[in-house]
Copies of this chain bind each other. A is one copy, B any other.
């Protein structure tokens, strides 16, 4: 069997997705372990995986897809009136209200507007895996930009900040609430803190296929390690590891930091996002239409000071329909640095997840997702 042979199941009408998935695998130029899953109105309609070492129950690093999982917990807490998006962060977390951050609201924090995209002096890997330490250090810090006047992707720390608000308000970590309220009821193979007895199912992440040309291109657009982008990716700290390596670090896998520490499978991501918007396993949708609308609402749009590109942010999620033109307004989810993606499209009753073991090159997998999504939505049109 070729490594790129696609395995899994697909519902009637969605077969064309396989072809697009295969084309993406073929274009990689090396064995690629990847998973793609789609739910439609609560039913799994695509569940494919590929890769020489991949099994049907393999687990992969999700990178920043983790932030979406953590923020589904935040959405539940807002729905339960435990948190209020228009409340000042300092209301829940008084130590945060320093250096001009006193008026910042929870919705502004969640849309990457706090200016705390990284730590002045960086973090060791052990520190970075410790959400509480990260939050404490950043909460005391002067923001890199004037809060609520611009956004910049809080790549490695957003979950620590939002998680600290959760902890202050509930006494529990966002990871623990995720396990209790999302993972367990839906039997999801998604883990903030992978149990040691499951670690054998984890397939370590792989770096992109590096060619001299690719390395030269990346170097040409590189920013300094202590630039704002460098700081957001912790490149200014001596103990730094490259982003692709993060899930391979034991300390990350076992602590499960909310920003990038979740490990799991695409089918469970798609199931979770489906459960957020439609009934599944006999359980009512997790989120009411009002909550869905509140978290899919676009909070800001403009130049992202970390990513150095135009960017729109919803509340703790990407407003993914700004990126993928086949989606409905209000679709919300979160991508991962290596080409991962997971979201719900409430208007179309769809959810989608894609994980890949090897980092994508160029560092932008949206073209791949666009192609798959075109096939998915064409299928939806047909089966309707």
Residues of A in contact with B (beta carbons under 8 Å apart):
86, 100, 107, 115, 142-146, 149-150, 221-224, 226-228, 230-231, 290, 293-294, 297-303, 305, 310, 312, 321-322, 325-330, 347-348, 377
Complex CA distance for A227 and B144, rounded to whole angstroms: 34
Given A302-B302, A305-B322; A142-B297 close (CB under 8 Å)? yes
Task: Determine if A144 and B224 form an interchain contact, defined as CB atoms under 8 angstroms apart.
Answer: no
Complex CA distance for A172 and B231, rounded to whole angstroms: 40
Task: Determine if A228 and B303 form an interchain contact, defined as CB atoms under 8 angstroms apart.
Answer: no
Closest 9 CB pairs of A and B: A145-B298, A226-B328, A223-B325, A228-B329, A150-B301, A301-B303, A226-B347, A146-B299, A224-B326
Task: Determine if A298 and B144 form an interchain contact, defined as CB atoms under 8 angstroms apart.
Answer: yes
A227 nearest CB across to chain B (Å) = 5
Q: Pick the most buried of A224, A305, A312, A326: most chain B CB atoms within 10 A of its CB.
A: A224
Task: Determine if A146 and B305 form an interchain contact, defined as CB atoms under 8 angstroms apart.
Answer: no
Complex CA distance for A224 and B327, rounded to whole angstroms: 6
Given A146-B298, A299-B145, A329-B144; A321-B377 close (CB under 8 Å)? no
Chain B hits for A221, CB < 8 A: 325
A-B contact pairs, 9 of them (CB 8 A): A142-B294, A142-B297, A145-B297, A223-B325, A224-B321, A227-B321, A227-B327, A301-B305, A305-B312
Task: Determine if B298 and A150 form an interchain contact, defined as CB atoms under 8 angstroms apart.
Answer: yes
Task: Determine if B150 and A300 form an interchain contact, defined as CB atoms under 8 angstroms apart.
Answer: yes
Complex CA distance for A328 and B325, rounded to whole angstroms: 37
Report whether over half of chain A's contact residues are helix, strand or loop; otherwise say mixed: loop
Chain B hits for A302, CB < 8 A: 301-303
Task: Determine if A321 and B142 form an interchain contact, defined as CB atoms under 8 angstroms apart.
Answer: no
Complex CA distance for A329 and B118, rounded to whole angstroms: 11
Chain B hits for A305, CB < 8 A: 298, 301, 312, 322
Task: Determine if B299 and A149 form an interchain contact, defined as CB atoms under 8 angstroms apart.
Answer: yes
Q: Pick the most buried of A227, A303, A329: most chain B CB atoms within 10 A of its CB.
A: A329
| Contact of A329 (CB < 8 Å), options: B149, B231, B329, B348 | B231
Task: Determine if B329 and A377 form an interchain contact, defined as CB atoms under 8 angstroms apart.
Answer: no
Task: Determine if B321 and A310 form an interchain contact, defined as CB atoms under 8 angstroms apart.
Answer: no
Complex CA distance for A312 and B144, rounded to whole angstroms: 12
| Contact of A325 (CB < 8 Å), options: B150, B222, B377 | B222
Complex CA distance for A230 and B325, rounded to whole angstroms: 10
Chain B hits for A230, CB < 8 A: 329
Task: Determine if B298 and A303 form an interchain contact, defined as CB atoms under 8 angstroms apart.
Answer: no
Task: Determine if B303 and A312 form an interchain contact, defined as CB atoms under 8 angstroms apart.
Answer: yes
Task: Determine if A303 and B297 form an interchain contact, defined as CB atoms under 8 angstroms apart.
Answer: no
Complex CA distance for A49 and B222, rounded to whole angstroms: 30
With both beta carbons as reference points, the residue of chain B lying nearest to A321 in the complex is identified as B227
A45 nearest CB across to chain B (Å) = 18
| Contact of A300 (CB < 8 Å), options: B107, B146, B222 | B146
With both beta carbons as reference points, the residue of chain B lying nearest to A230 in the complex is identified as B329
A194 nearest CB across to chain B (Å) = 34
